[in-house]
Structure 1
Amino acid sequence: MRLVIGVLCAICLIAMMGLTVADVLGRYIMNAPVPGATELTELLLAAVVFMGLPAASIDADHIAVDIVTSRLSGLRAKILDLLIAVVSAAVLALVGWRIWIVGDQIAGYAGTTPTLKLPLAPVAYASAALCIIAAVVTLAVAARHRRA
């Protein structure tokens, strides 16, 4: 699964890079920028960020400040790790829920990007779903580490 997510993120990053290069070259050499380049770059960036959430959760690779946890050992460290995982999952689920609500609002007025008229609600729904998936993965990884 990690490999699939990594490949998808890499494809999006390469597409962003190619699009940016084409837009800059078109703008400064031929005086013709790529129509909707900014919109596509924003959508690709959202894809990379939200696809990266489950990948980071799979590896338990979220940013951590271990000033307190490095001084703990044994049962206390495991309890704190579990508590942090539960709180992280709750925050991810909350963010996913709120993004879903925003997606409903966007769908209600049929929101689209300004230039290319791409619908935005599916992006919001996909982002919300990926947050929820990351929350579930975070709990599953915590449960697996707790048993180990």
Structure 2
Amino acid sequence: MTPGAQTPAPGRIAKIRRGATFLLGLACLLVLAAMIGLTCVDVVARYLFNSPVSGAYELTQLLLASLIFLALPLTTAAGEHIEVELLDGLKSVLLKRLGTIAAGVTTVAVFAIVSLELMEHAEKLQRREQVTDSLSIPLYLIGWLGAASFAISAVAAIFWSLKRFQKKA
């Protein structure tokens, strides 16, 4: 390999990240637009025609849960979660680095555990064929979306933690 040449892996990772960010952002946009459209149609139908959209409340709940799950990896990758920096006043560089490592490991562990728990819950919902009350939409779909969201967020948290650790180093 020639001096100064880069391995292609960082370029591929950046491409994958940009693509995933675009797709998740587009999905969030579409879900939000669907929520707005559904709410507008429901309000107009309810007050002008005295005929509300059947299952609008249920659909809004599912769309809101989907929006939150779709936005979670984006928020994690951007490092936009609320943080409390308890160790900011420390003078010791070693303690600050240990705190950064502990925060990163904790974040990744929490996301991974929640993902695993949601996988188990989605499997139960699927086995029991649980559906929504009025529209009979399978609930396991939201469970699997949540599990995938937290798994992707765990991966994003790994990259964010590494970047943060390198910045503070």
Same fold (TM over 0.5): yes
Q: CA offsets, 1:73-119, max 9 Å, x none?
A: 64433321221121111111111111111111111211111222111
Q: Return the match for 2:119 from 88, 100, 105.
A: 100
Partners in 1 of 2:35 and 2:21 — Cα distance? 21
Unaligned segments of structure 2, at least 5 residues = 1-19
Aligned to 2:14: none
The amino acid across from 1:18 in the alignment is: G
Aligned to 2:62: 43
Q: Return the match for 1:52 from 47, 58, 71.
A: 71
Q: Return the match for 1:124 from 122, 129, 143.
A: 143
The amino acid across from 1:117 in the alignment is: S
Q: CA offsets, 1:16-40, max 9 Å, x none?
A: 0111111111112111111111121
Partners in 2 of 1:102 and 1:112 — Cα distance? 14
The amino acid across from 1:26 in the alignment is: A
User: Normalising by the residue count of structure 2, what TM-score does the alignment of the two structures yield?
Assistant: 0.79
Is 1:30–2:16 an aligned residue pair?
Answer: no
How much does 1:4 deviate? Answer: 2.8
Q: CA offsets, 1:27-69, max 9 Å, x none?
A: 1211111111112111111111111111111111111123x24
User: Map of 1:1-148 to 2, 5 A cutoff?
Assistant: 1-66=20-85, 68-72=86-90, 74-148=93-167
The amino acid across from 1:124 in the alignment is: G
Identity %: 31
Instruction: Give the structure with higher Rg (CA).
Output: 2
Task: Flag the structure with more relative contact order, 1 or 2, with Cα contacts below 8 A and sequence separation at least 6.
Answer: 1
Partners in 2 of 1:65 and 1:98 — Cα distance? 26
RMSD: 1.7
Partners in 2 of 1:82 and 1:45 — Cα distance? 33
Partners in 2 of 1:78 and 1:13 — Cα distance? 39
User: Normalising by the residue count of structure 1, what TM-score does the alignment of the two structures yield?
Assistant: 0.89
How many residue pairs end up in the alignment?
Answer: 147
Partners in 2 of 1:33 and 1:77 — Cα distance? 56
Partners in 1 of 2:111 and 2:72 — Cα distance? 9
Partners in 2 of 1:34 and 1:14 — Cα distance? 17
How much does 1:131 deviate? Answer: 0.6
